[in-house]
Amino acid sequence: MSLLVMMPTRDPGPVLGALSRLAPELAVAVWPEVPDPGGVEVALCWQHPHGALAGFPRLEVAMSFGAGVEHLLADPGLPAGVTVSRFVDERLVADMAEYVLAAVLAWRRGWALHRDAQHERAWRPRAYPRSNSVLVLGLGRLGAAAALRLAANGLDVVGWSRTPHALPGVRCVHGAEGLDAALPGADVVVCMLPLTAATAGILDRDLLGRMRPGGYLVNVGRGAHLVEKDLLAALGSEMLAGACLDVFAEEPLPREHPFWGEPRITVTPHVASLTDPEAVARQAVATVASVRAGQLPPNPVDRERGY
Ligand code: NDP
Ligand code: OXD
């Protein structure tokens, strides 16, 4: 049995190094060099070419190199019987919470405005709000930790999910009615949703228009959650004061994209929380062991639900 590493847009080197340390006996192939396609039972994937997974007749698990699985589920050629799993890791969770807290605090304290003033050598004191309400969309592994971290730093936090949740210090709401009730009080919206048919395009003119005027958007979910032209329009009409975006419909963000030149948008290159190669290799090895034992892999996802 072999593990296939299929991540054409990333350097597989660090993961291969970790795999050879953790499981030197494990046969590992790196796509597209696969000497024995019939022996592949687990594939570790990131942005694999659609259709390619159909070429492995004994494939049992397609594991995402990241927490998101939309890149796997969007493949119409993903064989029906293959279990999809995702990477879950405490470090990934903590790093994301740190990024979200940094983005919210930088907005609240006007960091970018002070930086702009510094470039102009202008002394521009600015009052900052003493309380802010942050609405976190998605209370999964990452969203719940970020919501708790924001609350621990004194922010007034509301968390939104599909099903009911309870988190200490966070007002939890769910479903369409919960979102309707929470949006008018939100100074900041943080998107930490998975990309599914139900969440694509959720950050649109309607949602942005229902936040408190002059608010802020943080998107660390996926680029396709955001309707880009609606964000630019919301900034143009001062409905929104700014945004911090880590994910984009097209990555890398094209050089000619208007977001680069918009001073009210902070662009980061999909680095809110980076997969640790050692930890993902550990989960891949555990996935191989689970297949050998005839068990479900760690962190399986519901293919129908989309996350
Ligand atoms: P989880 O699957 O653990 O959690 C998803 C959350 O979203 C759940 O709380 C779920 O609700 C909620 N949700 C899903 N669909 C809906 C809906 N239709 N309405 C309301 N709530 C919904 O995901 P993670 O927290 O692990 O990760 C979230 C996403 O973060 C990933 O899918 C990925 O896209 C992104 N990500 C980005 C990174 C970056 O560096 N920018 C790094 C890692 C991940 P419920 O609990 O009720 O099911
Ligand atoms: C992930 C990501 O899904 O890095 O883990 O976006």
48-98 pLDDT, tens per residue?
999 999 999 999 999 999 999 999 999 999 999 999 999 999 999 999 999
Q: In Å, what is the CA distance from 93 to each residue of 142, 158, 221, 246?
A: 5, 19, 13, 16
Amino acid (one-letter) located at 192 = M
Cβ < 6 Å from ligand 1: which residues? Answer: 66-68, 96, 138-143, 160-163, 192-196, 198-199, 220-222, 246-247, 270, 272-273, 307
Q: Which ligand is nearest to the CA of 247?
A: 1
With 80 as the cut, is the pLDDT of residue 181 above it? yes
List strand residue ranges (DSSP E) for the chain, in order.
Answer: 2-6, 27-30, 40-45, 61-64, 83-85, 133-137, 156-161, 170-174, 188-191, 215-219, 240-245, 265-267
Tell me how far the alpha carbon of residue 136 lies from the centroid of ligand 2, in angstroms.
17
With 90 as the cut, is the pLDDT of residue 1 above it? no
| Positions marked catalytic | 222, 270
Q: Which ligand is nearest to the CA of 271?
A: 1
Atom of ligand 2 lying closest to residue 247 CA: 6
Testing ligand 1's pocket by substitution, the residue of 193, 203, 218, 266 carrying the most ligand atoms inside 8 A of its CB is 193
What would the mean pLDDT of 12-21 be, rounded to a whole number?
98
Q: How confident is the model at residue 127 (pLDDT cuts 50, 70, 90)?
A: very high
Q: How confident is the model at residue 266 (pLDDT cuts 50, 70, 90)?
A: very high
What would the mean pLDDT of 146-171 be, rounded to a whole number?
98
What would the mean pLDDT of 293-299 be, rounded to a whole number?
97
Asked if residue 217 lies in contact with residue 208, where contact means CB atoms within 8 angstroms, the answer is: yes
Output the pLDDT for position 154.
95
Output the pLDDT for position 131.
81
Output the pLDDT for position 37.
97
Residue bearing the CA closest to ligand 2, atom 5: 66
Residue bearing the CA closest to ligand 2, atom 2: 66
With 90 as the cut, is the pLDDT of residue 201 above it? yes
